[in-house]
Structure 1
Amino acid sequence: MKSIVCEQPDQFKLMEGEKPIPKEGEALIRVRRIGICGTDIHAFGGNQPYFTYPRILGHELSGHIESIPENPLGFKAGDQVSIIPYMECGKCIACRNGKTNCCTDMKVLGVHIDGGMREWVAVPFDHLVKTEGLTLDQAAMIEPLSIGAHAVRRAAIQKGEFALVIGAGPIGLGVMAIAKEQGAKVIAMDMNNERLEFARKWANADYTLNVLDHPHEKLAEWTNGDMPAVVFDATGNAKSMMDAFNYPAHGGRLVYVGLVKSDISFSDSDFHKRELTLMGSRNATREDFDYVVNFVRTGKVDLDSYITHRSSFSEMIDQFEGWLSPDAKVIKAIVEV
């Protein structure tokens, strides 16, 4: 079995290894598509929290079930699936309360344990999601879109509310599309005008705003002085995350979708004055995956234009560093296995 291993920062290696043998309760999946996400990029660059080397990356996955035991979920060999890559303990307070996405002993494929950047992977069958009717490309994008769906669900958006999404990367774009689907008036903010134009077209953002173009004044103007009811920061940038406190309305919500390996500070008096609610949004649950599968099936989201770059498995190592350059204009890259 071929695997691509991140041996240390800035170094991939193609390796041969044994095909995994599923344990009790696991299915063997023939991996067909691997999405490249910010976690993979940060791991390759040496700045991903909670990470050790060497590691097989990859957690945005789709493929086919090669073998599976009898199971109550109705999965069978040959089924096309996406994978929920968050391996929870099932016993801690978060798991007992249905918040498996923030388990106290979380093991994420491609981060804490080896992921799917290989030909086969064995995973618990209760972490599979049926994706019949979707393409393999679409099925691999269920996981990143589910991150956005979870953040929007955390925010409890009400129809007609203004939602500011900071960061027009792949996760932020998903937040925009799903917030728009749920009836929000979406404002996209980024420092890249090409990304903002893509957000306007792809996610149907109502407004676009360059962060360098007097954002507070524009937000006040568009919201009749109220400011956005909910603000999502999907940048993973400490300065942006701290600046985001400037934008929610009185009584509003600020949701951190992006993760940064840094401390965050803010003005407590201003935070209290506006009685803001600050939330973290981590990973996603099966509820979010099921929502996104149905959302994609409606045809309301164009994943063909969302996926801008692709390579074969054998070519990925040579192409990966090129995808990191801003000149490459990557939104989402995908690997065909």
Structure 2
Amino acid sequence: MKTVICEEPGKLAVADQPIPQPGPDDVLIRVKRIGVCGTDLHIFTGNQPYLAYPRVMGHELAGIVESAPAGARVQAGDQVYVMPYLSCGRCVACRAGKTNCCTNIRVLGVHTDGGMTEYLAVPQGFVFKADGVTLDQAAMIEFLAIGAHAVARADVKANERVLVVGAGPIGMAATIFAKLRGARVYVLDGRADRLAACATALGADGTVELDTSEAGADKARLAELTDGEFFEVVFDATGNAKAMERGLEFVAHGGRYVLISIVNSRISFSDPEFHKRETTLLASRNATVADFETVLAAMRAGKIPTDALNTHKLSLAELPSEFPKLLDPGAGVIKALVAC
């Protein structure tokens, strides 16, 4: 089978590997679609803190079951999606139902080899039917679930003012699910094309272009939009430490600040600003089974503009040559899907 391996930062290679032999608890999947995630781009550029090379990337996965254990909830021929966070089920987080932050977690494509390959064996507990959606849609469930999880963490309510900082796929996912809860959602980003997509495809209530100068015109505009009160909920989805530190300035007094992003460095805030707002600071990591189900239900109901999100398609064989192009802002990539 063809497998794409990231041998080191900046280098992808196609290798011929044997089809995996599934263990007694494994489902063997014929991988049909792979979503390219920001994590994959960070692995390619050498900016992912939880990874050793070489690595087979890919954790946004959809496919067809080739074989499954007797009594499994999926059977040969089923269309499925994969929950790529392989949790242990025993640790303090798992016992509390927080499998997304399992102390022994192994994320496909990060801690262990993932799905940029033609066949993949996955423990049956992490494979779910994807009835009622297309393969393209099924491959987008995972990144959308990260946004859904963040919105659930914040307990976003109808009519709350929400700011999403960073209009990449994860920020767009948070925008979608905050809107579905009835919030008034605004998006801050430096890319006009992504702001336009948030406004036209996602129904954002307003967009503001980032201003990194000392003038701070973006902050003034955000203040204007909220009568100087700013936002009950702010999500950071930038992957930028300075942006994460600055985002506290946009949180209303009594508000919640949710960091979806992760960076391989320390971040800090002004303690007086943090305290005078009595800010609730939340990390949001991965997603749970319930979040995946939330996304699937919304997809089936036609509430997610998946066609607008999927801007690029390519084949597994094209990845080594085409992957670097996905890093070019001029390419206008929101979500690229790889077809196998």
Instruction: Report the TM range for the smaller structure's normalisation.
Output: over 0.9
> Alignment partner of 2:100: what SS?
helix
Paired residue total: 336
Q: How does 1:131-146 map to 2 (within 5 A)?
A: 131-146=130-145
Corresponding residue for residue 50 of structure 2 = 50
Deviation, 1:199, is 0.5
> Alignment partner of 1:70: what SS?
coil
Greater alpha carbon shift after TM alignment, 156-165 vs 206-215: 206-215
Corresponding residue for residue 265 of structure 1 = 268
Corresponding residue for residue 81 of structure 2 = 82
Aligned counterparts of 2:244 and 2:51: Cα–Cα separation in 1:
22
Partner amino acid for 2:338? V
Deviation, 1:70, is 2.0
Deviation, 1:158, is 1.1
Q: How does 1:111-130 map to 2 (within 5 A)?
A: 111-130=110-129
Corresponding residue for residue 225 of structure 1 = 228
Deviation, 1:301, is 1.4
Partner amino acid for 1:111? V
Corresponding residue for residue 204 of structure 1 = 203
Corresponding residue for residue 22 of structure 2 = 22
Deviation, 1:87, is 0.6
Contact 1:230 1:248 (C-alpha < 8 Å) held by counterparts: yes
Corresponding residue for residue 255 of structure 2 = 252
Q: How does 1:81-120 map to 2 (within 5 A)?
A: 81-120=80-119
List, as ranges, runs of 4+ consecutive aligned residues in structure 1 with deviation greater than 6 Å: none
Aligned counterparts of 2:20 and 2:269: Cα–Cα separation in 1:
47
Q: How does 1:150-169 map to 2 (within 5 A)?
A: 150-169=149-168
> Alignment partner of 2:125: what SS?
helix
Aligned counterparts of 1:270 and 1:53: Cα–Cα separation in 2:
41
Aligned counterparts of 1:165 and 1:336: Cα–Cα separation in 2:
30
Deviation, 1:24, is 2.1
Q: Deviations over 1:211-232 (max 9, x none)?
A: 2162222222222232100000
Q: How does 1:280-299 map to 2 (within 5 A)?
A: 280-299=283-302
Deviation, 1:269, is 1.3
> Alignment partner of 1:56: what SS?
coil
Contact 1:202 1:301 (C-alpha < 8 Å) held by counterparts: no
Q: Deviations over 1:124-175 (max 9, x none)?
A: 1111121112111000000000000000000001110001000110110011
Aligned counterparts of 2:81 and 2:112: Cα–Cα separation in 1:
18
Partner amino acid for 2:144? L
Partner amino acid for 2:283? G
Q: Deviations over 1:253-289 (max 9, x none)?
A: 0001111111101111110111001111000000000
Aligned counterparts of 2:266 and 2:330: Cα–Cα separation in 1:
30
Partner amino acid for 2:80? V
Corresponding residue for residue 318 of structure 1 = 321
Contact 1:226 1:249 (C-alpha < 8 Å) held by counterparts: yes
Deviation, 1:112, is 0.3
Aligned counterparts of 1:20 and 1:86: Cα–Cα separation in 2:
19
Partner amino acid for 1:320? F
Partner amino acid for 1:61? L
> Alignment partner of 2:27: what SS?
strand
Q: Deviations over 1:103-133 (max 9, x none)?
A: 1111000000000000000111111121112
> Alignment partner of 1:20: what SS?
coil
Aligned counterparts of 2:16 and 2:333: Cα–Cα separation in 1:
29
> Alignment partner of 2:167: what SS?
coil
Question: Unaligned 5+ residue runs, structure 1?
Answer: none
Question: Unaligned 5+ residue runs, structure 2?
Answer: none
Aligned counterparts of 1:112 and 1:135: Cα–Cα separation in 2:
28
Greater alpha carbon shift after TM alignment, 320-329 vs 135-144: 320-329
Deviation, 1:194, is 1.3
Corresponding residue for residue 235 of structure 1 = 238
Greater alpha carbon shift after TM alignment, 122-131 vs 43-52: 122-131
Q: Deviations over 1:196-219 (max 9, x none)?
A: 011101110001011216222222
- What is the RMSD of the two structures over their aligned residues, measured on CA atoms? 1.0
Aligned counterparts of 2:210 and 2:280: Cα–Cα separation in 1:
22
